[in-house]
Structure 1
Amino acid sequence: MNKILIVDDDKRLNKTINEVLERSGYSTCMVYSGDEAIDKISTDRFDIALLDLIMPGMKGVDVLTEVRRISPKTKVIMITAFATIESAIDAIRKGASEYISKPFKINELLTIIERVFEESRFEDNIGKIDIDYTLSSLSNAIRRNIITLLHSQTKLRFMDIVRQLGVEDSRKIVFHLKILREANLIRQNKEKLYVLTEEGKITFNSLKIFENYLTSK
């Protein structure tokens, strides 16, 4: 289950966010100061930290720096008042993934959280592939369409690919299939049907996550 740390000295807001996130299926933990947040991050694993920028004692930006040092995989979403937007942007430069301004709507917060999880999943997937070679092999629309076809239909014969893509010159498909095979994104099984490799599946999922991330901006 995705785990979120909520860090805000406003106990009422902290409790409200906690209740909403729990109803949305997230595992949560509430703390009320930067020092408490550092203690929790040091002893437990969190996917996301919701961090108030302005708190008594240790400031949000300082907590952000410590969170990124102690737990680099933990994504940080800064919570800020209207008057501190510039500080929030500075926090983004220092490693925060997103920020949200008070007062905010709960649906807006949930959308940002899901977007950050999408970002995290994309980073996890993209780390498993040879990014330069893979992106080069997918620079052509026909090759991207082949990947999409094989993802949706699992396995296809050569002529099925040609027919579904509507390409008159089948030699072009031979060329594009060769590029995808060399990139280890597709292969032929014992029945000579084309299928995605594990790397091909990861690549497709990464592209969809990236596409969803961009369209949610």
Structure 2
Amino acid sequence: MNSILVVDDDQELRENLQEVLAGDKYEVTLAKNGTEALEIVKDKDFDLMLLDLIMPGLSGMETLMLLHRQKPQIRVVLMTAFSTVENAVEAMRRGADDYLTKPFKSADLLTTLRRVLEEAKFKACQMTLNMDGTFNSLANPIRRQILQLLVANARLRFMDVTRGLGIDDHTKVNFHLKVLKENGLIDQDDQRFYCLTTEGEKVSQCMNFVINNLTS
């Protein structure tokens, strides 16, 4: 479940946004100003901050700049009035990911948040998949198939892997398993079952995410 911090000095709007976002299965936390938001993120990580641009005290722009020093990984979508769109564009130059012009429809809000979060996931996957060892592991289609088999079955013995691949050459399968093991993507337990490591699970998720998005 993605977590979102909503920052706005308008209590009614904050609560309405919480209802909309919770209805779309987001975990929602509320803050009434930038100062409170920055205190909250010290103790909790969020995937995204929905941030009002014009607020008493710390403005949205100031909050954005301080946030990126403290938690640069948090994605930021600004909320702004028509008269401050230029400021929102400037904030995007400074690191915001998108903005919404008030008043906005719930459907537009949800579409924007999904897009920003998908882009974040894609960039994280891009960094993971571009690592030398990972790239080498995924360069071969047989190794990609092995990872997919382990995603589907969790634990497999050597002969299960060969049957799943439809390959009779056991030496070839053993070679590819060794490459995946050396790169930390798979391991064997005490009973000689092959399984994904934590890194292997992350790489497999990224691989499937990229494949699905390139083909959709």
Does TM-score exceed 0.5, indicating one fold? yes
- Give 1:161's aligned residue: 161
Cα offset for 1:184? 1.6
Aligned length: 209
CA distance in 1, matches of 2:124, 2:104: 27
CA gap of 1:88–1:149, structure 2 versus 1, over 3 A, is farther
Give the match for residue 29 of structure 2.
28
Aligned to 2:6, the other structure's residue is in SS state strand
Matched residue, 1:109: 109
Give the Cα–Cα distance (whole angstroms) in 2 for the partners of residues 191 and 159 of structure 1.
13
Partner of 2:63, secondary structure, is helix
Which residue identity is paired with 1:185?
A: L
Match of 1:41 in 2: 38
Deviates more, 1:81-90 or 1:153-162: 81-90
How far, CA to CA, are the matches of 2:86 and 2:132 in structure 1? 35
**What are structure 1's unaligned runs of at least 5 residues?**
none
Q: Displacement of 1:177 after TM fit?
A: 1.6
Relative to structure 1, the CA distance from residue 106 to residue 57 in structure 2 (aligned partners, 3 Å threshold; closer, same or farther) is same
Which residues of structure 2 form unaligned runs of 5+?
none
**Residue aligned with 1:164, SS:** helix
Partner in structure 2 of residue 150 of structure 1: 150
Aligned-partner residue type, residue 29 of structure 1: L
8 Å contact 2:4–2:26 — kept in the other structure? no
Indicate the RMSD between aligned Cα atoms, in angstroms.
Answer: 3.9
TM-score by length of 2: 0.71
CA 18–167 in structure 1, closer or farther in 2 if over 3 Å, else same: same
1:30-179 equivalences in 2 (<5 Å): 30-31=31-32, 36-43=33-40, 45=44, 47=46, 48-54=48-54, 58-80=58-80, 88-114=88-114, 119=120, 123=124, 131-167=131-167, 169-179=169-179
Please give the alpha-carbon distance, in whole angstroms, between the structure 1 residues aligned to 2:88 and 2:207.
Answer: 29
Amino acid at match of 1:28: T
Instruction: Give, in angstroms, the shift of residue 50 of structure 1.
Output: 0.7
2:189 is matched with 189
**CA apart distance, 1:150:** 0.8
Deviation per residue, 1:81-137 (Å, 9 max, x gap): 56766654543442224433444332442344455556379859x78x993322321
**Structure 1-normalised TM-score?**
0.71
Distance in 2 between residues matched to 1:133 and 1:79, nearest whole Å: 41
Task: Write the distance in 2 (CA, Å) between the matches of 1:109 and 1:64.
Answer: 19
Please give the per-residue CA displacement for 1:125-162, whole angstroms capped at 9, x wherever unaligned.
Answer: x78x9933223211222211211101211222333323
Q: Using the alignment, how far apart are the partners of 1:131 and 1:27 within structure 2?
A: 33
Cα separation, 1, equivalents of 2:85 and 2:167: 51
Q: 1:145 to 1:101 in 2, by over 3 A?
A: farther
SS of the aligned residue for 1:95 comes to: coil
Q: Percent identity?
A: 40
C-alpha distance in structure 2 between counterparts of 1:17 and 1:202, whole Å: 31
Q: Is the 8 A contact 1:5 1:46 kept in 2?
A: no
Q: Which amino acid aligns with 1:173?
A: V
